Amino acid sequence: MLPARALRYCQPVTTASAYGYYVFAPIDFALKWDGVDIVWTYKGAGEWYPLGAAQFPDFSAYFDKRVPKDIKGFSPPFIGSGTKPANVQLWTGLIARTAPGWSLLVRAPANLPRSRGYDLYEGIIETDHWFGPLFTNMRLARTDAPIEISSDYPLLQVQPIPRHAYSNESLGKFSIVEDLKSFSAEDWERYRQTVVRPNTAPDRRRGDYAAKSRRKEKRAEGAAVPHQRDESEASGK
């Protein structure tokens, strides 16, 4: 979906697009909102239903047959209307768990065009200890036509982030430089490397930042691979 020029030369865009995982809706469905009430339908339903809280088709019985006795009847709803007008909560069909100290940022897909019929709220879920349905919340923004959600187009992007990245302790550690006079010699040298030299070099290569970033990534991957000894080396021969 990215322009070829961005894919080749713009490493920040390609990195942001590739960071995380796409999540798709588990079924094709549609919503209609008249400004007050919401109705919904899904592929093969043949009619529209008022939206309160609805299970994924036939999932409740499937769930109850496969879970411990005390969990029967607690199947997560697939879709439901929120407490505020035009708000809808949707279950992706997934339950996620991350490594200790890692959470999931749930958001709209980065750099992908999306429908103007709805907006997705972003949320950070601490999935290392909260083991439950991976939901998203959307705000409907259209009343003149149905809002269609396709199961073959990315609905969400989930991105793993370390908890310390958004902790108050980390976010509170910053300072502000209010004028250029306060820039240090190191700051100006970095500015020269980033802005001045690339724009004054006669043989400057387009996409140099992207190339350097890729080389750095490959070196990091190489350093992460442990040295593998052959059998003779391992036996001391």
Task: Give the separation between CA 24 and CA 159, rounded to whole angstroms.
Answer: 14
User: Which CATH number fits the domain that encloses residue 59?
Assistant: 2.70.40.10
Q: How confident is the model at residue 223 (pLDDT cuts 50, 70, 90)?
A: low
Task: Give the separation between CA 122 and CA 112, rounded to whole angstroms.
Answer: 15
Instruction: For 10-72, give the DSSP string.
Output: -HHHHHHHHSSEEEE-SS-EEEEE-SS-EEEEETT--S-EE-SEEPPTTHHHHHHTTS-GGGT
Which tens digit of pLDDT belongs to each residue from 153-184?
999 999 999 999 999 999 999 999 999 999 99
80 and 132 in one domain? yes
Q: How many domains does the chain have?
A: 2
pTM of the model: 0.78
112 and 76 in one domain? yes
60 and 99 in one domain? yes
Q: Is residue 7 part of a domain?
A: no
Q: How confident is the model at residue 232 (pLDDT cuts 50, 70, 90)?
A: very low
Give me the count of residues in the chain.
Answer: 237
Across the range 7-36, mean pLDDT stands at 90
SS3 173: coil
Task: Give the separation between CA 133 and CA 92, rounded to whole angstroms.
Answer: 8
101 and 78 in one domain? yes
Q: How confident is the model at residue 15 (pLDDT cuts 50, 70, 90)?
A: confident
Contact 218, 212 (CB under 8 A): no
Across the range 20-36, mean pLDDT stands at 96
46, 72, 206 from 97: Cα distances, Å: 36, 22, 41
189 and 212 in one domain? yes
195 and 135 in one domain? no
Q: Is residue 11 part of a domain?
A: no
Of the candidate ranges 6-15, 103-112, 141-150, the one whose mean pLDDT is the lowest: 6-15
128 and 77 in one domain? yes
165 and 194 in one domain? no
Q: Is residue 143 part of a domain?
A: yes
102 and 207 in one domain? no
Q: What is the pLDDT of residue 198?
A: 83
125 and 34 in one domain? yes
Task: Give the separation between CA 145 and CA 210, rounded to whole angstroms.
Answer: 42
* Residue 148 vs residue 217, higher pLDDT: 148
Residues 6+ apart with CB under 8 A from 103: 124, 125, 126, 127, 128, 160, 161, 162, 163, 166
207 and 156 in one domain? no
| Token pair in block for residue 148 | 């269609």
Q: Is residue 214 part of a domain?
A: yes
Please say whether the dihedral angle defined by the alpha carbons of residues 215, 102, 107 and 32, taken in this order, is positive or negative. positive
Q: Is residue 232 part of a domain?
A: no
Q: How confident is the model at residue 56 (pLDDT cuts 50, 70, 90)?
A: very high
The mean predicted confidence, pLDDT, of the chain is 88
194 and 154 in one domain? no
Residue-number span of the structural domain to which 192 is assigned: 182-222
